[in-house]
Structures are given as structure tokens and as C-alpha cells.
């Protein structure tokens, strides 16, 4: 009992000391800048916070030239379906958010749609765990998708998708803003890859990483049939399908 009294007494003394220090600093600053200027400074700080919140909640634009780029894609890939790719993009981003929130890749281990991104997501989660970082994405709503770029060269085609969405976001990260009481409006850019000519394509052109699904080790090439580290057989990757190879948030 005496220990608890001593503990709470010490804690109360610490809180009181901190309060006194803050009180002294406040009045010293006010003495230097003046009472009226201090009020203006306080209001300016509040205004900056309100501006940040307003930008945080501002509906973002999906940047792209969907109609023009779709015509070019259809000339090269007559079976291309932009709405299907938009749906896959939306599904992939949702699965990624769930992985980051749960800090686990267990639900996407055998997910072929994310086969190029599993290792990258795993590395992100490892960093989150080691730094005790948490993230939460609530009430996710996708607003609009647009094709922002298309490139076809040396056996590989890439499409970038611009996606606007909103969600309630919480994190203890220092490099990202978080207002849990305000719904965040943001935009993501995702890249999809299709290898249409393997004869022209070589591993040095890969802008994504391919890893062993068993041990996570990097494979020597996209056509590897076994892992040299754990000897697990590798099912040949279907390159002739659009797969997400990268994603990033445009507004942090």
C-alpha cells in the first residue's frame, strides 16, 4: 500500500512539474511576443491545423487519359477490359490495406494477383513490427479509377492506374498525417505489367521482384522451375496476364 502511495505521489509530482514548466514557457513566450501577438500566434497554429485537415479531406482527382489510352491498349491487346483491371486494382489495394492493418501476409501467400508484390509487402510489415508501427483503414470507399499511362516496349507492357478513394485512417507513424475523426481523401497510383513476348524480355527489365513462395528467397529468373535455396518446385509464372507490380500513395 505504501508503495502505491509513493508511486502515485511521485507521478503526481512529475505531472505537476511538467505543467509548471509548460506554464512558465507559455508566459515567457507571451512576454517576448506580447499578449496580442501570442493570441495571433495561437490562432495561426490553429489555422494551419485547419488547413491541413481541409487538404486531408479534400476530394482528390483521378489523373489520367482513359479513353485515349484505352484505344491504344486495345490495338495491342484486343481482349483488354479496363473495367476488369479497375476491379482487380481495387481488390488488390483492399487486400494490401488488410495485410498492413493485420501486419501479416498470411492471406495473400497463394494470391497470384499479388505474386509480384508479396516480398515488398512482407518487408513493409517487418519494418512495422520492428518499429511497433500500426495502421488502420476503416470504411474504405473507392471513388474513381483512370488509366494514367501506357507503355509497350521490349516484350513488356505497363499500365498505370490512378485511383481515388477515401477511408478513416489511423497510424502512429511519424511520416504520415492522421486525423482519426476526419475521413481521408487520397489517391494511389498502381502499375500493372504484362509480358507479351518472352523472347524479347529479359530479367534485367523486371521492375518487380519474384520470390519463392515457400522460403521467400529471390528467384534467379522469371522462368525458374525450382528454388536454389530450399529446392522447392516453382510453378511457372503466367506472364501473359496483367499483374500489379507496384503501388504508392500520392498524398501522405
Report the alpha-carbon distance of residue 19 to residue 113 in Å, rounded. 54
| Residue 76 CB partners (closer than 8 Å, separation 6+) | 152, 157, 196
- Of 207 and 219, which is predicted with more confidence? 219
Arithmetic mean of pLDDT, 163-167: 97
* For the chain, domain boundaries: 2-54, 62-249
The span from the first CA to the last CA of the chain, in angstroms, equals: 49
CATH of 62-249, one of 3.10.450, 1.10.287, 2.40.50, 2.60.120: 3.10.450
- Per residue in 52-74, pLDDT (tens digit) is 889 999 999 998 999 999 999 99
Dihedrals phi, psi of 138, to nearest 5 degrees: -115, 145
Q: Record the pTM.
A: 0.71
Q: How many residues would you count in the chain?
A: 252
- Per residue in 110-134, pLDDT (tens digit) is 898 998 898 899 999 999 999 999 9
| Strand blocks (E) in the chain | 135-153, 156-171, 183-195, 243-249
Amino acid at each position: 500500500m505504501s508503495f502505491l502511495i509513493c508511486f502515485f505521489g511521485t507521478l503526481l509530482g512529475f505531472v505537476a512539474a511538467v505543467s509548471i514548466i509548460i506554464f512558465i514557457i507559455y508566459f515567457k513566450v507571451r512576454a517576448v511576443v506580447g499578449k496580442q501577438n501570442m493570441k495571433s500566434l495561437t490562432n495561426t497554429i490553429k489555422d494551419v491545423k485547419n488547413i491541413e485537415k481541409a487538404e486531408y479531406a479534400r476530394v482528390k482527382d483521378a489523373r489520367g487519359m482513359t479513353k485515349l489510352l484505352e484505344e491504344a491498349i486495345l490495338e495491342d491487346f484486343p481482349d483488354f477490359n479496363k473495367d476488369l483491371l479497375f476491379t482487380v486494382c481495387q481488390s488488390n489495394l483492399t487486400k494490401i490495406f488488410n495485410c498492413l492493418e493485420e501486419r501479416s501476409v498470411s492471406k495473400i501467400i497463394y494470391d497470384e494477383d499479388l505474386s509480384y508484390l508479396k516480398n515488398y509487402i512482407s518487408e513493409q510489415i517487418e519494418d512495422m513490427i520492428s518499429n511497433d508501427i500500426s495502421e488502420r483503414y476503416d470504411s474504405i470507399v473507392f471513388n474513381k479509377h483512370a488509366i494514367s499511362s501506357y507503355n509497350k516496349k521490349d516484350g513488356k507492357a505497363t499500365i498505370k492506374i490512378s485511383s481515388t478513394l477515401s477511408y478513416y485512417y489511423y497510424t502512429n507513424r511519424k511520416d504520415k498525417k492522421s486525423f482519426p475523426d476526419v475521413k481521408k481523401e487520397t489517391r494511389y497510383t498502381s502499375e500493372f505489367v504484362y509480358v507479351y513476348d518472352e523472347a524479347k524480355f529479359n530479367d534485367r527489365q523486371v521492375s518487380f521482384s519474384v520470390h519463392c513462395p515457400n522460403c521467400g528467397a529471390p528467384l534467379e529468373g522469371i522462368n525458374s522451375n525450382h528454388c536454389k535455396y530450399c529446392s522447392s518446385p516453382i510453378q511457372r509464372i503466367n506472364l501473359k496476364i496483367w499483374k500489379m507490380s507496384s503501388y504508392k500513395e500520392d498524398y501522405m
